[in-house]
C-alpha cells in the first residue's frame, strides 16, 4: 500500500510538472506587422537643403544627422579623400577648436560622429532634447567653417596609414579588394584601398575643396529624429544654414560591370586557410526583383541557418563563418559568397557552394523552409528599425536609391509575398555560376592543385 501511494504521488508530481512546463513554453510566433514609419514633416530651404523632422519615442533625446549624397564615389582617383575630408570636419572650426567642439557637444549629452560611404555620407550627433537646436547649429558651423589645419591632416593620415597597413595584411581585406576590382574595375566601386603613397599625397587644400564642392545643400538632407520642439529647431536650422551656398548637382558616373567567369588566386604561402569570394553583378535596390533577391540570399547563404552555412559549416566543418550577401550600389548591385575555409578543403568547399546554388535553381524550396526565412527577415527588419538613428538610415536609403515612399511600409508584406517558385527563379535568373568571379587568397600551389580536381568554369 505504501509503495502504491508513493508511486501515485510521484505520478501526480510528474503530471503537474509537465503541465507547468507546457504553460511556460512561449507561444508560437505570429507574422510580424509591417514597419510603421512615424509621421514626418519636411521642409526645403531656399538653398535646396531638405529638412525632415521625425517625432519618435518618449526618451528626451534627439538624433540630428546631416546626410549628403557624396562619398568615395567622388574621390576623383584619390581613394579615401572623402574619408579624410569628413574626418577634418571634426578637427575644429574658425569659431572653436577641436577640443572646444568636443566639449561643447559633450555638454549637450553627445559626441560628433561621421560616416563615409561610397555614395552617401553623414555627420551627426545624439543629444539631449533641449539641445537639438544647438546641435543643428554646431553641424552648420562644422560644415561651413571647418578649419582644415595642416597638423590635423598629418595626424589623421598617420592613423589612416596604420589602418591601411593592417587592412592590407588581412586575407579577408585582400580578397574583398580583389573581388570588387574584378567586378567594377577602375570605377570607384572597384577601388577599396589607396596605396600608402597616394594616401600620403592628399593635401589639406584637397580636403577643403572636397567639402566645398561635394558637401553642398542641394545634395544634402538634415534629419532630426526623437523628442524635440520642431519650431525651435527649424528656426535654428534656417539661421545656421542660410549662408550655405548650393553647388553642382550630383554627377552620374557610368558603371560598367565586368562579366565573368574569372579565377584569381593570390598567394599566401603556407596559409592554413583559403579565403574565398565568389559572386557576380546582379540588380540594383530599385529593381522589381530586389526583395526576391534578398529572400533568396537569406535562404541560400545569408543567415546562420541557411543552406550553404548548414552544409559547409555544420555538416562538413570546412569553415566557421561563411556568409553570402546582396550588396547595394546606386544603379547596380552584386551578390557574393564569402568564407574562410581550411586549406585542404578549398576545392571541396567550392564544390558544395556551387552544388547548393544549382540545387536551389532546379528545385523550389519547401513552404516550411521559406516560411522560416520570411519570419526571420520580417522580425529582424522590425527590430533593426526600432531606434532614432535606424529610422534616419532607412529614410536616407530610400532617398539615395530613388525608392517609392511605400517601400518601408510594405517591406514586411513583400517578404511574405515571395513564393518558393520566386526564390528558385531568382537563382536561375541572377546567380549563373558560369558568369561568376572567384577570388581565393591562400597557398597558391595548393589552391591550384585542388582547383584542377573541379569540373566547370573554376577548374584550372
Clarify whether residues 295 and 185 are in a common domain: no
Whether 228 and 357 map to the same domain: the answer is no
Q: Which residues make Cβ contacts (< 8 Å) with residue 3, sequence separation at least 6?
A: none
**65 touches 124 (CB < 8 A):** yes
Q: Within a 10 A sphere around the Cβ of 200, how many other Cβ atoms?
A: 13
pTM for the predicted model, two decimal places: 0.90
> Per the domain annotation, does 248 fall within a domain?
no
Is residue 20 domain-resident?
no
Decide which of 212, 241, 270 is a domain's last residue.
241
Distance CA(381)–CA(388), nearest Å, equals: 15
Do residue 69 and residue 150 come from a single domain? yes
Q: Do 210 and 286 belong together in one domain? A: no
277, 176 contact by CB (below 8 A)? yes
> Do residues 83 and 176 both lie within one domain?
yes
Residues 267 and 388 grouped into a single domain: yes
Position of cell 553570402? 324
Please check whether residues 226 and 299 belong to one and the same domain: no
Entry field: residues in the chain: 460
Contact between 90 and 115 (Cβ < 8 Å)? no
d(CA 387, CA 383): 9
What band does 3 get if pLDDT is binned at 50, 70 and 90? very low
Matching residue, cell 597558391: 444
Q: By C-alpha distance, which of 106, 177, 101 is closest to 146?
A: 101
Strand intervals (E) in 112-218: 113-116, 121-128
Residues 177 and 285 in one domain: no
- Residue 90: inside a domain: yes
In angstroms, the CA 12 to CA 15 distance is 5
Is residue 1 in some structural domain? no
Number of domains the chain contains: 2
19 lies in a domain? Answer: no
Residues 72 and 168 grouped into a single domain: yes
> Which cell numbers hold the place of 139?
553641424
pLDDT of 455 > 50? The answer is yes
Which range of residues forms the domain containing residue 353? Answer: 262-451
CATH number at residue 195: 3.30.830.10
Does residue 267 share a domain with residue 203?
no
The pLDDT assigned to 251 comes to 80
- Domain boundary residue among 206, 241, 276? 241
> Domain ends where: 172, 207, 241?
241
pLDDT tens for each residue of 7-55 = 344 444 444 444 443 334 344 456 766 777 788 999 999 999 999 999 9
pLDDT, residue 87, reads 98
pLDDT digits (tens, 9 = 90+) for 111-162: 999 999 999 999 999 999 999 999 999 999 999 999 999 999 999 999 999 9
Q: In a 3-state reduction of DSSP, which class is residue 61? A: strand
Does 212 share its domain with 337? no
User: Is residue 312 in a domain?
Assistant: yes
Closest CA to 214 of 254, 246, 252, 253: 246
Q: How far apart are alpha carbons 105 and 95 in whole angstroms?
A: 14
Whole-number percent of the chain with pLDDT over 90: 87
The cell for 56 is 519618435
Give the per-residue pLDDT at 29.
53
State the average pLDDT over residues 269-290: 97
- Shared domain for 135 and 82, answered yes or no, is yes
Do the beta carbons of residue 210 and residue 81 sit within 8 Å? yes
Q: Mean pLDDT over all residues of the chain?
A: 92
26: in domain: no
Amino acid at each position: 500500500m505504501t509503495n502504491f501511494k508513493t508511486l501515485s504521488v510521484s505520478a501526480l508530481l510528474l503530471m503537474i510538472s509537465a503541465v507547468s512546463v507546457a504553460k511556460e513554453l512561449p507561444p508560437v510566433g505570429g507574422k510580424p506587422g509591417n514597419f510603421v514609419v512615424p509621421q514626418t514633416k519636411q521642409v526645403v530651404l531656399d538653398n535646396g537643403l531638405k529638412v525632415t523632422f521625425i517625432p519618435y519615442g518618449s526618451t528626451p533625446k534627439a538624433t540630428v544627422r546631416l546626410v549628403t549624397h557624396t562619398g568615395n564615389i567622388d574621390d576623383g582617383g584619390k581613394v579615401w579623400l572623402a574619408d579624410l575630408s569628413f574626418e577634418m570636419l571634426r578637427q575644429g572650426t574658425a569659431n572653436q577648436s577641436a577640443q572646444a567642439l568636443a566639449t561643447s557637444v559633450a555638454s549637450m549629452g553627445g559626441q560628433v560622429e561621421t560616416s563615409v560611404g561610397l555614395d552617401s555620407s553623414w555627420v551627426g550627433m545624439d543629444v539631449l532634447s533641449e539641445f537639438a537646436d544647438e546641435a543643428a547649429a554646431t553641424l552648420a558651423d562644422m560644415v561651413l567653417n571647418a578649419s582644415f589645419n595642416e597638423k590635423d591632416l598629418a595626424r589623421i593620415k598617420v592613423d589612416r596609414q596604420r589602418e591601411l597597413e593592417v587592412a592590407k595584411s588581412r586575407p579577408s581585406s585582400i580578397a574583398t579588394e580583389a573581388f570588387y576590382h574584378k567586378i567594377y574595375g577602375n570605377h570607384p566601386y572597384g577601388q577599396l584601398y589607396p596605396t600608402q603613397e597616394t594616401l600620403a599625397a592628399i593635401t589639406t587644400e584637397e580636403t577643403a575643396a572636397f567639402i566645398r564642392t561635394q558637401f553642398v545643400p542641394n545634395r544634402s538632407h538634415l534629419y532630426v529624429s526623437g523628442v524635440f520642439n520642431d519650431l525651435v529647431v527649424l528656426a535654428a536650422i534656417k539661421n545656421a544654414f542660410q549662408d550655405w551656398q548650393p553647388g553642382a548637382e550630383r554627377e552620374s558616373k557610368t558603371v560598367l560591370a565586368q562579366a565573368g567567369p574569372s579565377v584569381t588566386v593570390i598567394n599566401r604561402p603556407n596559409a592554413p586557410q583559403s579565403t574565398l569570394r565568389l559572386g557576380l553583378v546582379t540588380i540594383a535596390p530599385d529593381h522589381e526583383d530586389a526583395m526576391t533577391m534578398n529572400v533568396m540570399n537569406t535562404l541560400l547563404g545569408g543567415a546562420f541557418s541557411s543552406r550553404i552555412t548548414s552544409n559547409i559549416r555544420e555538416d562538413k566543418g570546412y569553415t566557421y563563418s561563411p556568409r553570402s550577401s546582396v550588396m547595394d550600389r546606386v544603379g547596380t548591385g552584386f551578390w557574393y559568397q564569402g568564407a574562410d575555409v581550411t586549406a585542404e578543403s578549398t576545392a571541396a568547399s567550392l564544390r558544395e557552394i556551387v552544388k547548393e546554388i544549382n540545387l536551389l535553381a532546379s528545385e523550389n524550396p519547401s513552404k516550411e523552409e521559406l516560411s522560416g526565412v520570411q519570419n526571420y527577415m520580417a522580425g529582424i527588419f522590425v527590430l533593426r528599425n526600432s531606434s532614432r538613428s535606424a529610422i534616419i538610415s532607412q529614410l536616407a536609403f530610400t532617398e539615395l536609391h530613388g525608392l517609392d515612399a511605400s517601400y518601408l511600409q510594405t517591406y514586411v508584406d513583400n517578404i511574405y509575398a515571395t513564393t518558393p517558385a520566386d526564390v528558385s527563379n531568382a537563382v536561375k535568373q541572377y546567380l549563373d555560376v558560369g558568369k561568376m568571379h572567384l577570388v581565393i587568397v591562400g597557398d597558391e600551389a595548393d589552391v591550384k592543385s585542388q582547383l584542377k580536381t573541379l569540373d566547370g568554369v573554376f577548374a584550372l
